[in-house]
Amino acid sequence: MLGNKWVVFVVALVVWAAFFYSMDKFIMEYQGLPVGADMMPV
Amino acid sequence: MKHSQTLAATAALAAIAFILPEIAMASGEEVVSILEGAPKPSRGDYPVIAGISARTIAWSLAQMHLFLAAFVLAVPLFAISTEMMGVITKDDRYDTMSREFMKITMAAYSLTALVGGGLLLALLVFYPHLMGYMIKVFRGQMLIYAALFGLESITLYIYFYSWDALRRGNRKWFHMSIGLVLNTVGLTLMFVANAWTSFMMSPSGVDAAGAITGTVWEATRNPLWNPLNLHRFLANIAYGGAIVGGYAAYMFLAEKRAEAKAHYDWMGYTSNFIAIIGFLPLPFAGYWLMAEIYAYSQQMGITAMGGILAWLFIIQAVLIGTIMLAANYYLWSGLMRTDRGAEYAKYVKYIAVVIVGGFLVWVTPHSLVLTPSELQVLGGTNHKVLGPLGIMPAKNTAVNLMLVMTFLSFQMFYRSSRVATVSWAKQGNMVIIALYVIGIANIVGAGIYGYFTPTVYKVGASVPQVTTTLMIIVASVVIDVLMLRGAKTEKVHWGRMSERSQYALFVLPVAFTWLMGLMGYIRSSLRTNWHIYTIMKDNSSEAYIPTIGEAGNTITAITLGFMAIMVFVFWLSRLGATKQSEPKQEASS
Amino acid sequence: MTFLKTMGFSIVAMFLFAAFSNILPQVQSDAPVEEEIPTDGFDMAGMIAYGERLFTGKGTCTLCHNDLGRAPDLLVMNLSTAFNDRLADPRNEGVSAGGEGASDVEAYLRESLVDPSAYVVEGFGKKGSNDTISPMPAVDAPPIELNEVELNAVIAFLQDGAGWDPTVPLPSAEEAVIEEEPEEVESAEPETDPLVVLDNVYCAGCHDLEGSEADVGPNLDDIGTRMTQGEIIEAILYPNAIIADGYEADYMPEDFGEQMHTVELMVLVDYLINLSN
């Protein structure tokens, strides 16, 4: 199944997204900042 | 092989032994109780000589010395790297090029020392109190500096002149060890000089009145020392690469022989590569430096980013944008060197759009502490339309995207000469494309998030952006390496390059030199009217921060001077290779 | 030929950068000039006005105390409630623990200025310090270096801003020497806005001018009805030539001629004359 490049593409998108999301979360929390702060323009 | 390792080890030990006294000296229990504070010269105590502007003299000489020093310190750093490459790849071209790098450095070296001497003299003549105090604070370190300078000269000369004698086999390792010593000494020199500079910005090891309370090491290890060290180290590499690139571009244009053109094209490409390598992490090092400045003194930080100096960061953005555009343009032109380059050329326009767009966002000014009249013109501290683009999250996003795109340009060129043969090549490409897509989305997303959240989050959100950029670079290099294993390499037609692309290589050193001049001016201005911030006031008549225009003119003059010196240096290095043809035998009748 | 082309190109690039730096706003930031301004004649109105000037000028307070969220926006917020809250806050050891901390507003303000970390307003402490370290520098130390009189003037200004009568002492003759603030002068170009000129030379510290109510010198609001243009100029350039009735000589500085550009002097005098019409 992983022979089809588009399948790989979609899988890779998901995997990278998961990776970057956890990276962001880790970095933000490491700095003592919760992810998901109230979004309001300041 | 054993033999060579011993040699290398000995050389490294020698290097350490030479630096040791410095460290020993510095960290020793040598607390001298000179409990008088820093001198307080009044206006009349500053020597006035024939109405010369002391500051302009010191400024010009210091900046010129810095340009030259950055160059002569940086070139050996990458000369030894390319020398190493030559050994690893067994490609003689690398070795020839390293030697040529060094040849250019040699002539510049004595000029560096000369200008440095001039600077010292000027400082002693015009600012005797300041210098007297600095010598008191740093004591023996100055002598060690002088000794290191001597060592630097010796190793530099040996490294260069032994090149051909120690070119092959085990001897090569010995030669590279000398290079290692040379670079260690060179870096130590820079770190020592940086300590004096950063001490003037963030003094430590002295009390509030300037009386010496700590060791030399404590004064050396002041809060801004390491950020400055890293920043200058990276900048030097980028700078050295840019200048050598300019040299190669000139030679490329001047040479007529195809084979020489190929050589200089390749040299230009490599130098540009080195410049970019040094340049990519530079914004982050700058960010760290700025953060440390804020941590040390919020007052100083705000003076830099929010006060009258804030406009300078607009100029900085223009210069960096120019550098990025030129470097990218050069990389794109490089696609014509390979036959498959055209396949990639079609993407160039999209990259160009991102880079130009990022550039525009970056130069958009945000809130500044303005004079009343400027406030009137703008109608508030924020521009109505451009305001949101001027704030930090937007700028960080722009910078990161520009860096990612620059890397992409490079990657395209690298790939244009290689055809992957591994079975999973197609899938691998998809993984890389997905990496770029998600990575860019993450950078943009973090930017938007930062825009909508309070200041702490704004700052916080810039860290994932930077990490993402680095991740994209690292991950795609790793995948590329795996994927291009055993790849079919295609011929790169070195020398098949447009003339116009070479001018891009000229933009780099010019913009870089000017940029460094600008940053020097900013860094010095941060101290406002203090020689040594909060410890020793500058009471001379020139204690004011000059206008941007005045600074710009001075920087241009210094840059012109430096360019003239460089032309002379390059001319000298070529002169050495020029032989007069033997006079024709007079035909005897 | 190649040489000329490449050098020409590089030089053009350089000049473009230089040109760019010349079209941006040109501001020169001068070092503080040590100058003797006698403040011993200052009354409280003068002190308050002087404090305001220090706040935006030499004190560089507005660098942080502005609407960008770096520090409490002292010029906008309700100072009386804020300061009372601080005094009542259990974290302020002066009130709750009977300690040496601030127990009245003047003491609180003085503490805020010379020892900012003694009490840090919630949420404004240095990152990671949990509001125990203030990013604000002690303003009596370098680089700001306000002296005693200047500190009092700033405190008077803030007390006045809270709607209270200042409690600080008026300057005595010994403390009279103060330092002039750093001025950001538009390079070479003289000011043509009389309000800016007035702000720079600061007549309102001694004269009642537009509500400053200072009374070291005569009221200036109606000067146009009393003096001609020439007389006013003379009174500014040579204050001790003719002494106004009921006022003392040697108070008004004699160097306004050096402080102002001719254009600025003219603009100022015109403004003063028009004020009474």
B37 phi/psi in degrees, rounded to 5? -80, -170
What residues does each domain of chain B span?
2-338+491-573
At B286, list the tokens: 């700058």
At B359, list the tokens: 């550039």
Distance CA C186, CA C192 (A): 11
Q: B171: burial class by Cβ within 10 Å (0-12, 13-18, 19+)?
A: middle
Percent of chain B with pLDDT over 90: 33
Of B75-89, B104-118, B129-143, C176-190, least confident by mean pLDDT is C176-190
CB proximity C1 to B under 8 Å: no
CA distance B183 to chain C (A): 31
Q: How many other CB atoms sit within 10 Å of the CB of residue C259?
A: 17
Q: What's this model's pTM, rounded to 2 decimal places?
A: 0.74
Angle between the A5-30 and B425-452 helix axes, to the nearest 10 degrees?
A: 40
List of domains in chain C: 33-180 (1.10.760), 190-275 (1.10.760.10)
Q: Is C20 close to B552, i.e. CB distance below 8 A?
A: yes
CA distances to B132, C49, C62 from B128, in Å:
6, 41, 36
What DSSP letter does each residue of B261-276 carry, written as one string?
Answer: HHHHHHHHHHHHHHHH
Distance CA B415, CA B347 (A): 14
Q: Which residue has the higher pLDDT, C189 or B156?
A: B156
Q: Which residues does B233 contact at the CB level (< 8 Å), separation at least 6?
A: B187, B190
pLDDT of A34 = 58
Distance CA B324, CA B356 (A): 10
Averaged pLDDT of chain C = 77
Distance CA C13, CA C22 (A): 14
pLDDT tier, C83 (very low <50, low <70, confident <90, very high otherwise): confident
Distance CA B192, CA B143 (A): 11
Q: Is the pLDDT of residue B305 over 70?
A: no
Q: Is the pLDDT of residue B355 over 70?
A: yes
Q: Which residue has the higher pLDDT, B523 or B588?
A: B523
pLDDT tier, B33 (very low <50, low <70, confident <90, very high otherwise): very low
Of A21-25, A27-31, C70-74, least confident by mean pLDDT is A27-31
CB proximity A31 to B under 8 Å: yes
Q: What is the mean pLDDT of residues C118-146?
A: 81
pLDDT of B176 = 92
Distance CA B570, CA B107 (A): 8
Percentages of chain B per state (helix, strand, coil), in multiples of 5: 75, 0, 25
pLDDT digits 0-9 by tens, B463-502? 888 889 989 999 999 999 898 888 788 888 888 888 889 9
**Which of C2, C27, C193 minimises the CB distance to B308?**
C27
What DSSP letter does each residue of chain C carry, written as one string?
Answer: -HHHHHHHHHHHHHHHHHHHHHHS--EEEPPPPB-----TT--HHHHHHHHHHHHHTTT-GGGTSSTTSSS--TTTS-HHHHHHHHHH-TT-HHHHS--SS--SHHHHHHHHHH-GGGS--TT-SPTTTTTSS-SSPPTTSTTT---HHHHHHHHHHHHHHTTS---SPPPPGGG---BPPP-EEESSPPP--HHHHHHHH-GGGTS--TT----SS---TTHHHH--HHHHHHHHH-TTTSPPTT--TT-S-S-HHHHS-HHHHHHHHHHHHHHT-
CB C62 within 8 A of CB C75: yes
CA distances to C50, C153, C179, C219 from C172, in Å:
15, 13, 16, 23
pLDDT tier, B377 (very low <50, low <70, confident <90, very high otherwise): very low
> Which residues in chain B are contacts of C64 at CB distance < 8 A?
298-299, 302
**Closest residue in chain A to residue B427, using alpha carbons only:** A5
Q: Is B506 close to C64, i.e. CB distance below 8 A?
A: no
Which H or E run includes B534? none
Q: How many other CB atoms sit within 10 Å of the CB of residue C127?
A: 14
What is the distance of C-alpha B54 from the center of its chain?
27
For strand C27-29 and strand C184-186, is the pairing parallel, antiparallel, or unpaired?
Answer: antiparallel
CA distance B233 to chain A (A): 27
Of B220-229, C96-105, C197-206, least confident by mean pLDDT is C96-105
What is the distance of C-alpha C159 from the center of its chain?
16
CB proximity A34 to B under 8 Å: no
Q: Is the pLDDT of residue B11 over 60?
A: no
pLDDT of B359 = 84
pLDDT of B203 = 92
pLDDT tier, B179 (very low <50, low <70, confident <90, very high otherwise): very high
Q: What is the mean pLDDT of residues B126-145?
A: 89
**Which of A3, A24, A39 minimises the CB distance to B453?**
A39
Q: Which residue has the higher pLDDT, C28 or B248?
A: B248
C28 phi/psi in degrees, rounded to 5? -110, 130
pLDDT tier, B378 (very low <50, low <70, confident <90, very high otherwise): very low
Averaged pLDDT of chain B = 82
CB B265 within 8 A of CB B494: yes
CB B440 within 8 A of CB B401: yes
At C225, list the tokens: 């009805």
Q: Which of residues 196-225 of C touch B (CB under 8 A)?
A: 196
DSSP helix/strand/coil, B328: helix
Neighbours of chain C (3+ CB pairs under 8 A): B
> Which residues in chain A are contacts of B437 at CB distance < 8 A?
13, 16
Q: Which residue has the higher pLDDT, B20 or B78?
A: B78
CB B322 within 8 A of CB B499: no
DSSP helix/strand/coil, B167: coil
Neighbours of chain B (3+ CB pairs under 8 A): A, C
pLDDT of C203 = 82
- Taking phi over 0 as left and psi of -120 to 50 as alpha, with beta for the rest, B14 belongs to alpha
Bridge partners of residue C29, in order along the sequence: B545, C184
Of B250-254, B275-279, B303-307, least confident by mean pLDDT is B303-307
Q: Is the pLDDT of residue B166 over 60?
A: yes
CB B151 within 8 A of CB B18: yes
Q: Which position has the token pair 């500058």?
A: B538
CA distance B588 to chain C (A): 39
Q: Tally A–B CB contacts below 8 A.
A: 71
Q: Is the pLDDT of residue C179 over 70?
A: no
* Apex B443 CA angle, B437 and B445, nearest 5: 95
Q: Which residue has the higher pLDDT, C175 or B435?
A: B435
Q: What is the mean pLDDT of residues A25-42?
A: 62
Closest CA to B155 of B186, B126, B125, B130: B186
> Which residues in chain A are contacts of B430 at CB distance < 8 A?
5-6, 8-9, 12
pLDDT digits 0-9 by tens, B534-586? 888 888 888 888 888 889 999 999 999 999 998 888 888 777 777 777 776 65
Of B41-45, B270-274, B427-431, C176-180, least confident by mean pLDDT is C176-180
CB proximity C6 to B under 8 Å: yes
pLDDT of C34 = 54
Identity of the highest mean pLDDT range in B284-293, B370-379, B523-532:
B523-532
pLDDT of B185 = 94
Q: Is the pLDDT of residue B239 over 90?
A: yes
Q: Is B529 close to C182, i.e. CB distance below 8 A?
A: yes
Q: Is the pLDDT of residue C94 over 70?
A: no
Of A31-40, B249-258, B512-521, least confident by mean pLDDT is A31-40
Percentages of chain A per state (helix, strand, coil), in multiples of 5: 60, 0, 40
pLDDT tier, B183 (very low <50, low <70, confident <90, very high otherwise): very high
pLDDT of A33 = 63
Q: Which residues does C145 contact at the CB level (< 8 Å), separation at least 6?
A: C139, C179
